[in-house]
Amino acid sequence: MEKSILNLSLLKGEKYLKWLIFVGVFWFVLGVAYISVNKIYQQGVVVFLFLPLIFILALNFKLFKSFLFNNKIFSFVCSALFLYIAVNGFFFNAVQSVKHILYIIIFLALGFFLILFDYGEKLLERALFFILLAVALICLCSFYDFFYLGGNSVFSRMWGVLGVSHPILASYYIGLFFILSSALFAEQRKLYMLPFIFIFTAFIFFSQSRGAYIAVLVTLIFYVIVFARKNKFAIWSSFAFLSVSFFLGYIFLDQIMIRGTSSRPELIVSGLTMAMENLWFGHGIDYKYFLYTDTAPYEYYHAHNLILHIFIRLGLVGVILFSALWLYCFYCCYRSKELFLAKFNLLLIVFSSVAFQFDSASLIAQPRLEWFVVWVPICITVAVMAVRFLDDFKESNKLSDIA
């Protein structure tokens, strides 16, 4: 980017807030894994990330408004979804959910400002390496705690430490970094990503989350078919990984299936029956429900399927609006797939779309693990649109005029 386009005068308050937001991003990404007390983590996100974002958004609202106007479809669908959820929340007396909507809107604005802050390629590369290293460390700590200190065999289902203790949600969180490190390895041939790929793969494998397995495999197959047709290095790397995965899956098949077949088909039927009771507008954004199956002696407190969860709480209208937003994010990134950021986010959207079918049944909530497969891909889409927004004004002085 030219300095005439990205300079200190472009954003008001950038000099003082960009580094606090930088710290906030680290807190958001790593705190969810290292801080086991949700309240402390969420308060840190508010202090280090949301409050600085509110200030810089207020100082640069005219610029952000121009960005939204430049992306009318995204802005309209987002507004329709959040407005519908807010009305639903007021109608069903779930005012707390309205506050969570504000959190999400502020978080999505992060994608725009991170691009305009222009931290520099070297700094971002180092920060990314540090994040991958920190996530790999929490994986290694989980291996040590579960297998060495706990004395469990490699055939046991691993429960991680601190914030990554839940085997399903943690495997989705680690899956994001697996996709990132794999994309950097295949696209940019960064060989130092190999140890990260190995560690993240091991974590997902030992978590024995069948949903995560399927999500990873579908994402890799999508990558080979869509992006790697002319990249022999990427094709052979993906083929080697898939071959090893299927081999290990065959060896560990009995242990993976020892928990029996999934109850999710019955959950889907039970959830659809409940959703049909209030087809269009759902039971309410904060509706507490339990689902029962014949194969499990206990109740499920959510649908283990994000789309079905939305259907139960927000009805068919909510499903249509969220699906429209999600599909537009896919389209927007596919249209800009020459950008590495867009290509990575496409893979993340595919991964998350599969993960939705098995868990992550949380849409409107405070920052938590589920955000990494629901709202992070949408935030990255905003960043991709911000890159295009800057490109549109690169050869003119319009951006300086509206700042």
Average pLDDT, the chain: 88
Cα 238 to Cα 19, 215, 329, distances in angstroms? 37, 15, 25
Amino acid found at 220: L
Mean pLDDT (whole number) for 83-90: 93
CB 355 within 8 A of CB 172: yes
Instruction: Please calculate the CA angle 252-254-259 and round it to the nearest 5 degrees.
Output: 115
Give the global pTM: 0.92
Contacts 24+ apart (CB under 8 A), 342-345: 342/384, 343/183, 343/187, 343/227, 344/179, 344/180, 344/183, 344/380, 345/377, 345/380, 345/381, 345/384
pLDDT at 4: 36
CA 258, CA 254: separation in Å to the nearest integer? 6
255: exposed, middle or buried (Cβ count in 10 Å: 0-12, 13-18, 19+):
middle
pLDDT at 6: 44
CA 270, CA 275: separation in Å to the nearest integer? 9
What is the residue-wise DSSP string for 331-342? HHHHHTTTSHHH
CA 254, CA 259: separation in Å to the nearest integer? 9
- Name the residue among 323, 395, 251, 332 with its Cα closest to residue 73: 332
pLDDT at 72: 96
Residue partners of 17: CB distance under 8 A and separation at least 6: 52, 55, 56
CB 135 within 8 A of CB 33: yes
What is the residue-wise DSSP string for 268-303? HHHHHHHHGGGTTT-S-TT----B--SS-SS-BSS-
Each residue's pLDDT tens digit, 140-170: 999 999 999 999 988 888 999 989 998 999 9
Cα 162 to Cα 33, 35, 41, 43, 390, distances in angstroms? 6, 6, 12, 17, 40
CA 75, CA 127: separation in Å to the nearest integer? 30
pLDDT surpassing 70 at residue 401: no
Each residue's pLDDT tens digit, 69-79: 999 999 999 99
Each residue's pLDDT tens digit, 53-65: 999 999 999 999 9
- Name the residue among 131, 117, 113, 1 with its Cα closest to residue 64: 113
Each residue's pLDDT tens digit, 107-136: 999 999 999 988 888 999 999 999 999 999
Q: Is 12 left (phi over 0), alpha (psi -120 to 50) or beta?
A: beta
